Amino acid sequence: MGSKAMIFDLDGVIVSTDEYHYLAWKEIADRENIYFDRKINEQLRGVSRMESLEILLRKAEKAYTDEEKLAMATDKNGIYRDLLNRLTPADILPGVNDLLAELKRRGIRTAIGSSSKNTPVILEKIGMKDAFDAVADGNDIKNSKPDPEVFLVAAKKLGELPENCVVVEDAYAGIEAAKRAGMKAVGVGFASTCPQADYTAENLAKADIGKMLSL
Ligand code: B16
Ligand code: MG
């Protein structure tokens, strides 16, 4: 029995906001004299804002109070939100629009499952506010990926059983979350070499829709 719903991660699958996350965290790290590079940034994929900060602070030489941490996360989000103003529909990643059109044609329902609290503004900026049947994001959950919560909320919003859902992710944490939710997992982009994924492709333009739906 094939899948009846497809749940898409946002950052790194629908749109490359990952570079903006990097630039914003880099500004915070430089300001605090904390070493931060693109390799460390890869560990922040799919992880919540506060957990991302904790990973960044592993290289810090001093301890920060909870108030200071909150201020840093708020500052990072301000920088990130400014960068998001640059987004347009041209930033939608290759293959996304064609895949969504084909899923609609086949009667397969779709949802977003993202850790980001900025999901509504991102969808608005890229003109995809109404492109999905449901949206589950960082505002709906207590635990971020690799916890399965966001995908279970997405399935619930769609009224679909987890075993009928296939998740598309660019983060190892997201692939783990999908598997823990009892769903099938497709790895693209950074997760296109993830051994835990049920199917992988370099990007959605190169993904086989028939294969993804028959997992
Ligand atoms: P925000 P996704 C995730 O989005 C990002 O990959 C991750 O880097 C970020 O820390 C997280 O959203 C929270 O984002 O600060 O906007 O709430 O990949 O789950 O779509
Ligand atoms: Mg992602």
- Number of helices (H) and strands (E) in the chain: give both, helices first: 9, 6
Is 83:121 a contact under the CB 8 Å cutoff? no
Cα of 90 vs centre of ligand 1, distance in Å, is 20
- Whole-angstrom Cα distance, residue 120 to residue 81? 12
Q: Give yes or no: residues 33 and 70 share one domain.
A: yes
Q: What is the pTM of this model?
A: 0.96
The residue among 63, 84, 105 that closes a domain is 84
Q: Give yes or no: residues 163 and 71 share one domain.
A: no
Predicted confidence at residue 2, as pLDDT, reads 75
Strand-pairing partners, residue 166, are 6, 184
**CATH number of the domain that 51 lies in?**
1.10.150.240
Predicted confidence at residue 102, as pLDDT, reads 97
Predicted confidence at residue 1, as pLDDT, reads 57
Strand-pairing partners, residue 167, are 7, 185
Predicted confidence at residue 156, as pLDDT, reads 98
Q: Give yes or no: residues 112 and 80 share one domain.
A: no
In terms of DSSP bridges, do strands 165-169 and 5-8 run parallel, antiparallel, or are they unpaired?
parallel
Predicted confidence at residue 3, as pLDDT, reads 78
H or E, element range at 38: helix 38-42
In terms of residue numbers, what domain contains 203?
5-16+90-213
Q: What is the mean pLDDT of each run of 10 residues along the chain (215 residues)?
A: 89 95 98 97 95 98 97 98 97 98 97 98 98 98 96 98 98 97 98 97 97 95
Cα of 1 vs centre of ligand 1, distance in Å, is 32
Catalytic residues: 9, 11
